[in-house]
Amino acid sequence: MAEEAIERYHSLLNDQVAADTSADLYTRLKPQGLYFGDRPLSTVIRPHFYLLEEWEYLKRETETLLSAFSRLHAACLTDPSLRVQLDLEPYEENLFSLDIGGAVPWTTSRLDSFFMSQERKLYFVEYNAETPAGMGYEDALSELFMTLEPMQRFMKYYAVQSMPMCGKLLAVLMRGYREWGGVGIPQVAIVDWGHVPTLNEHEIIRRFFGRHGIKAVLADPRNMEYKDGKLWIGDFRVDLIYKRVLCSELIHQMGMENPIVQAIRDRKVFMSNSFSAKLLAKKASLAMLSDEQNAHLFDDQQRHTIHAHIPWTRRVSDRKTQYRDKSVDLLSFIAEHRDRLVLKPNDEYGGKGVIIGWETSADDWNSAIKQATNNSYVVQEKVQVIYKDFPAYIDGKLNISSRFVDANPYVFDGHTVHGCLTRLSSVALLNVTAGGGSVVPTFLLQKRA
């Protein structure tokens, strides 16, 4: 069990070792860009561990679920009645068709989950299919943690394997570019607003691309220009967009005729993740998977995996639905069971707008239901969160305390799992963007003989 490895790691620590390790870590975080805005990315001195067999289970179950997402995506592309369940905005309906017949709409994505590895319980709560962050951070943190003194000592007892992802990212971007029809070595723009707190990660990835012979720049879409049949950022020609800006923000701020949309429409630039990736990025995609009215879309194995790993999720509306084989009035059910439910905006990120029922008063919960009914929300059943002990150096002492932990495997080409984002938090909402989280590298272990 990984718990045995955790105990071994913690046994290597004392106040002085914790002080020295923490000082080493904090000294090196900022020069390596391992900050989220102005906050250090990691505040603990232990990575997260999976035994190889635990990771193989997570990987296998995730990849089966991905086949269901792929089938759902294909069905939504061709069936307008299905797309109604996603609550798409008019611009999304106009844009997703640009992908039909093209390359795979996403080179990378990420499924966010809670994984009780010992019990083999796995619950996916969100699919980040549009702009999955964290790969550059995880790679750099893995390299840093490998050099820390406790890790060096720990590796006498366990063989430790990291899962670097930037190479996988570059490979799938290049493959997508060739499938799209691109030739030669493309010039890449990593596109996001110039003020976002993840610019440090963008820079980590840009440097990686450069070390592997790919010319790449960070590009604010407001500074891009489409002229002479090419997309430009200053005097840098862009052949491939590695999109980190959200589609909703791009269109709401710059309109439908912005330079990026024009260039994609004219097939003068390849973008990944592309516009139709947004279909599954909606929170309602999990509702579509778990809703009984869509069961016919999936085969037996997919239905079994959905039932096992997707918590009960529904788009909030005035309707009847099934809950544990019983017919319920959805709005009444939500009102009566706030102790087990969460409300989530259909198209937000970073924990924005999430309302946790068991932390909300009855009056505020009823108000939230009205808001959810009049807007686009999903309701999701509570899942069991995971606690693990992590060490830190606090107030001059080694402090080993419990934190919430999630498991967020990365997906390449829509079907292959490699690498994992692990976030920690002292509150139920595990999200670095929300301000309360920390990130640690994720390692695979085998005990040495």
Contacts 24+ apart (CB under 8 A), 397-402: 397/15, 397/18, 398/13, 398/14, 398/15, 398/17, 398/18, 399/18, 400/10, 400/13
Q: Residue 3: which pLDDT band, with cuts at 50, 70 and 90?
A: very high
Give the pLDDT confidence score for residue 434 in this predicted structure: 42
How far apart (Å, rounded) are the C-alpha atoms in residues 392 and 223?
42
- Among candidate residues 62, 22, 49, 45, the one with its CA nearest the CA of residue 401: 45
Give the pLDDT confidence score for residue 37 in this predicted structure: 81
Name every residue whose Cβ is closer than 8 Å to that of residue 301 and which is 6 or more positions away in sequence. 64
Same domain flag for 265 and 363: no
**Is 42 domain-assigned?**
yes
Same domain flag for 18 and 81: yes
**Is 163 domain-assigned?**
yes
Give the pLDDT confidence score for residue 81 in this predicted structure: 92
**Is 289 domain-assigned?**
no
> Under a CB-based contact definition with an 8 Å cutoff, are residues 35 and 41 in contact?
yes
Same domain flag for 376 and 394: no
Same domain flag for 126 and 67: yes
> For 259-306, how does the pLDDT look when each residue is reduced to its tens digit (9 = 90+)?
999 999 999 999 999 898 888 999 999 999 999 999 999 999 999 999
Q: Mean pLDDT, to the nearest integer, of 178-191?
A: 96
- Does residue 369 surpass a pLDDT of 90? yes
**Is 287 domain-assigned?**
no
Would you tell me the crossing angle of helices 135-146 and 199-211 to the nearest 10 degrees?
80
User: What does the mean pLDDT of the chain come to?
Assistant: 93
Q: Mean pLDDT, to the nearest integer, of 198-209?
A: 96
Give the pLDDT confidence score for residue 104 in this predicted structure: 66
How far apart (Å, rounded) are the C-alpha atoms in residues 202 and 381?
34
Pick the last residue of a domain from 381, 405, 420.
381
Q: Residue 428: which pLDDT band, with cuts at 50, 70 and 90?
A: low
Name every residue whose Cβ is closer than 8 Å to that of residue 257 and which is 6 or more positions away in sequence. none
Q: Looking at the 3D structure of the chain, how many domains does it have?
A: 2
Same domain flag for 154 and 203: yes
How far apart (Å, rounded) are the C-alpha atoms in residues 428 and 319?
29
**Is 175 domain-assigned?**
yes
Same domain flag for 157 and 268: yes
> For 14-31, how does the pLDDT look when each residue is reduced to its tens digit (9 = 90+)?
999 999 999 999 999 999
Give the pLDDT confidence score for residue 19 in this predicted structure: 98
Same domain flag for 354 and 374: yes
Give the pLDDT confidence score for residue 432 in this predicted structure: 42
Distances (CA, A) of 445 to 76, 138, 146, 283, 339: 40, 17, 13, 33, 37
Pick the last residue of a domain from 381, 404, 433.
381
How far apart (Å, rounded) are the C-alpha atoms in residues 428 and 298?
32
Among 288-292, 377-381, 423-427, the range scoring the smallest mean pLDDT is 423-427
Query: What are 286's two structure tokens?
Result: 């999990």
Q: Mean pLDDT, to the nearest integer, of 39-68?
A: 95
Same domain flag for 204 and 104: yes
Give the pLDDT confidence score for residue 200 in this predicted structure: 94
Domain that holds residue 108: 2-281+386-447
Sheet strands side by side (includes 377-381): 313-315, 377-381, 341-345, 355-356
Q: Residue 447: which pLDDT band, with cuts at 50, 70 and 90?
A: very high
**Is 300 domain-assigned?**
no
**Is 303 domain-assigned?**
no
Give the pLDDT confidence score for residue 109 in this predicted structure: 95
Q: Mean pLDDT, to the nearest integer, of 234-246?
A: 97
What CATH number did the domain enclosing 316 receive? Answer: 3.30.1490
Same domain flag for 225 and 358: no
Same domain flag for 329 and 404: no
Name every residue whose Cβ is closer than 8 Å to that of residue 198 and which is 6 or more positions away in sequence. 36, 133, 192, 244
- Does residue 426 surpass a pLDDT of 80? no
Give the pLDDT confidence score for residue 101 in this predicted structure: 56
Give the pLDDT confidence score for residue 403 in this predicted structure: 92
The amino acid at residue 106 is W
Same domain flag for 121 and 189: yes
Give the pLDDT confidence score for residue 119 in this predicted structure: 85
Q: Mean pLDDT, to the nearest integer, of 140-160?
A: 97
Q: Which residues of 196-211 are buried (b: 16+ CB within 10 A; e: fewer)?
A: bebbbbbebbbebbee
Give the pLDDT confidence score for residue 99 in this predicted structure: 67
> What 3-state DSSP class applies to 384?
coil
- Among candidate residues 138, 139, 135, 147, the one with its CA nearest the CA of residue 27: 147
Same domain flag for 277 and 368: no
DSSP per-residue letters across 192-210: --TT-TTHHHHHHHHHHHH
Pick the last residue of a domain from 381, 398, 433.
381
Give the pLDDT confidence score for residue 385 in this predicted structure: 84
Q: Residue 123: which pLDDT band, with cuts at 50, 70 and 90?
A: very high
**Is 346 domain-assigned?**
yes
Q: 407: which DSSP letter?
A: B
> Under a CB-based contact definition with an 8 Å cutoff, are residues 372 and 379 in contact?
yes
Give the pLDDT confidence score for residue 32 in this predicted structure: 93
Give the pLDDT confidence score for residue 435 in this predicted structure: 39
Give the pLDDT confidence score for residue 106 in this predicted structure: 80
Per cent of the chain over pLDDT 70 is: 96
Give the pLDDT confidence score for residue 384 in this predicted structure: 86
